[in-house]
Chains A and B, each alone.
Chain A
Amino acid sequence: MAKVTFNTDMCKGCGLCVDACPKQCLAIAQDKLNPKGYSPAYMKDQEKCIGCAFCATMCPDCIITVEK
């Protein structure tokens, strides 16, 4: 079991984490806006996450924490 948490208010919705995930766990919440005005990334498929931290490695804003 792995856990990925986002500092959602600081996300800029760039999607680089979504593209980096080898398990297609992540998505951009197109129907939401954070206080910065961006649609943030979120975990859509927790079951598949392997805790590889590829998402966090590519996040330019350093807002992802990964636990395993």
Chain B
Amino acid sequence: MAIVFEKPKALTDAPFHYCPGCPHGIIHRLVAETMDELGIEGKAIGVAPVGCAVMAYDYFACDMIEAAHGRAPAVATGIKRCRPDNIVFTYQGDGDLASIGMAETVHAAARNENITVIFVNNAIYGMTGGQMAPTSLPGQVTQTSPYGRDVNHCGWPIRVSEMLATLEGPEYITRVAVNNVKNVRNAKKAIKKAFQNQIEGKGFSLVEVVSACPTNWGMTPKQALEWIESDMLPYYPIGVYKDRSAKEDAAE
């Protein structure tokens, strides 16, 4: 018998602290599988966020650094510019990347920094107990929007991928989801491409992963994956929003 599936080597043996059914674990695994397949664990440097994934430094077997809240793209910029031969990635939630860290995100993309950004959009601040995020959906009930997000009062949720794709700078901006087997497999392909782009020196590559927070959404893990399909994906459609090299190849 041959092994069809096993835990990737780029994950340590530390058990994930995430809640039951939290897709952060799936997304960690996809990043680790990518490191294994590209043989880059030895030269990868990850930047962990503030958010539920703060302890990502315990889970990835490569070198890791912890950034101040939202500053991961700035920290990654510094590392990559000093050590261009290393493969540098950030792993960030929506509060981290799209709220307190929006400036760092936008400017790293505008500068086309040669880094890889894994952006986990679960439409909530998971770690701090379920407050409204810039990505929380209209009408979504959170700890700080108990009657549902009122867009007249709180503004509209931000579609980060679409917004960044308007910039000239970035190389690759795509949105994927992890709510079923097919989408998880496609998410893996996008994450691998985002690392491959960096190896080839192409520049800023961001994969927005539509995820879930069963605990703070007040759902079972199964219901949370269904809510991704019914409520998240209509507002945050899966798709490739920018792929400069593919566009250039097509134009030739």
Contact = CB atoms under 8 A, between A and B. Distances in A.
A1 B2 CA distance: 11
Interface string A1-17: 11100000010111110
A13 B20 contact: yes
Contact of A15 (B6, B18, B221): B221
B78 to A, nearest CB: 31
A52 to B, nearest CB: 8
B184 A58 contact: yes
A13 B22 CA distance: 12
Interface string B1-38: 11111111001000110111111111011000000000
Interface string B194-226: 000000000000000000000000001110010
B1 A68 contact: yes
B185 interface: yes
Interface residues of B, number: 30
B3 A57 contact: no
B181 A58 contact: yes
A3 B11 CA distance: 23
B20 A53 contact: no
B217 to A, nearest CB: 14
Nearest to B222: A19
Residue among B19, B21, B28, B184 having the largest count of chain A Cβ atoms under 10 Å: B21
Residue among A54, A62, A63 having the largest count of chain B Cβ atoms under 10 Å: A62
Contact of B6 (A2, A12, A65, A68): A65
Nearest to A53: B5
Contacts of A58: 26, 180-181, 184
A48 B170 CA distance: 47
A14 B21 contact: yes
A67 B26 CA distance: 20
Contacts of A19: 222
A60 B11 CA distance: 13
B181 A51 contact: no
A38 B29 CA distance: 22
B21 A12 contact: yes
A26 interface: no
26 contacts: A1-B1, A2-B1, A3-B1, A12-B19, A12-B20, A13-B20, A14-B21, A15-B221, A15-B222, A19-B222, A38-B20, A53-B5, A54-B181, A56-B5, A57-B181, A58-B180, A59-B26, A60-B20, A60-B21, A61-B18, A62-B11, A63-B7, A64-B5, A65-B3, A65-B6, A66-B3
Interface of B: 1-8, 11, 15-16, 18-26, 28-29, 180-181, 184-185, 220-222, 225
* 8 shortest interchain CB distances as A-B pairs: A60-B25, A14-B21, A12-B20, A14-B20, A53-B5, A66-B5, A56-B5, A67-B1
